[in-house]
């Protein structure tokens, strides 16, 4: 079975080697839980390992993401090179339009042999629809297109809460092949970040909740450490 190693320290171990290839996974969490950092490192590590990446930003500009990520990961000192050589590309579409995004992904797969795709954030797509039924139909069509493409994707999704107990699963979660929950957990006087692999079709995986940190040299997932 093909797997796509995320390159994120500890996460691949939890996934028994990586995300099953050609699967479409949600990164789900509230504000400030590190979704963009996860998504970026997935693309960055892929680019370094020879798998070209496409980061579709529906909210921040390319410049903001790059500046943000350089600050977040100062030890990723070849970001600019990878962007220049187009091993990694960040695009911000002019408008939020699922069909256009699907075309962009397909073109990038054909032209640049892109293997890894980020959509940040899927919530921007959701809130661009006035009627939920239209959103659902568009979403199904989008994933039907995506399932026929040779790429593995992460889509960030915004949760309305940072409490582990109150997460509500919605249509996006049923459609997607996997869900990685990121938490910014309330520990009274401070917050700690943690993650769990909640669903991953086609592979066994860890079911533990584990703490993680975003460090200058990349995300560290502390497999085997307890949060509570």
Q: Shortest gap between Cβ of 112 and a copy of itself (angstroms)?
A: 25
Residues 155 and 26 sit within 8 Å (Cβ to Cβ): yes
Residues in contact with a copy of itself by the rule CB under 8 A: 1, 20, 30-32, 36, 59-61, 64, 67-68, 71-72, 121, 123-124, 127-128, 130, 133, 136, 147, 158-165, 167-171, 173-175, 177, 179, 184, 186, 188-192, 196, 198-204, 207-210, 214, 226-228
Count of Cβ atoms closer than 10 Å to residue 94 Cβ = 6
Q: Shortest gap between Cβ of 163 and a copy of itself (angstroms)?
A: 7
* Phi and psi, residue 217, nearest 5°: -100, 15
Q: Given the complex with a copy of itself, which of 87 and 90 has the nearer CB atom?
A: 90
Q: Given the complex with a copy of itself, which of 104 and 203 has the nearer CB atom?
A: 203
Give the C-alpha separation, 74 to 147, whole Å: 35
β 52-57/88-91 pair status = parallel
Q: Given the complex with a copy of itself, which of 111 and 170 has the nearer CB atom?
A: 170
Helix (H, G, I), strand (E, B) or coil at 28: strand
* Phi and psi, residue 80, nearest 5°: -60, -40
Q: Given the complex with a copy of itself, which of 88 and 195 has the nearer CB atom?
A: 195
- Among residues 66, 65, 40, 64, which one has the least CA distance to residue 53? 40
Q: Shortest gap between Cβ of 173 and a copy of itself (angstroms)?
A: 5
Q: Shortest gap between Cβ of 89 and a copy of itself (angstroms)?
A: 20
């Amino acid at each position: 079975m093909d797997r796509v190693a995320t390159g994120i320290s500890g996460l691949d171990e939890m996934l028994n080697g990586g995300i099953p290839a050609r699967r479409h996974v949600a990164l789900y969490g509230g504000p400030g839980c590190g979704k963009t950092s996860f998504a970026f490192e997935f693309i960055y590590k892929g680019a370094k390992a020879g798998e070209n990446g496409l980061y579709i930003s529906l909210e921040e500009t390319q410049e903001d993401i790059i500046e943000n990520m350089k600050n977040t990961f100062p030890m990723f000192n070849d970001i600019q090179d990878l962007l220049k050589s187009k091993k990694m590309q960040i695009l911000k579409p002019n408008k939020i339009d699922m069909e256009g995004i699907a075309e962009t992904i397909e073109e990038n797969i054909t032209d640049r042999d892109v293997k890894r795709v980020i959509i940040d954030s899927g919530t921007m797509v959701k809130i661009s629809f006035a009627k939920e039924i239209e959103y659902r139909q568009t979403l199904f069509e989008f994933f039907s297109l995506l399932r026929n493409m040779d790429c593995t994707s992460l889509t960030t999704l915004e949760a309305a809460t940072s409490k582990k107990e109150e997460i509500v699963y919605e249509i996006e979660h049923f459609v997607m092949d996997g869900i990685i929950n990121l938490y910014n957990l309330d520990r009274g006087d401070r917050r700690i970040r943690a993650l769990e692999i909640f669903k991953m079709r086609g592979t066994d995986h860890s079911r533990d909740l584990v703490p993680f940190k975003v460090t200058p040299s990349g995300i560290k997932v502390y497999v085997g450490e307890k949060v509570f």
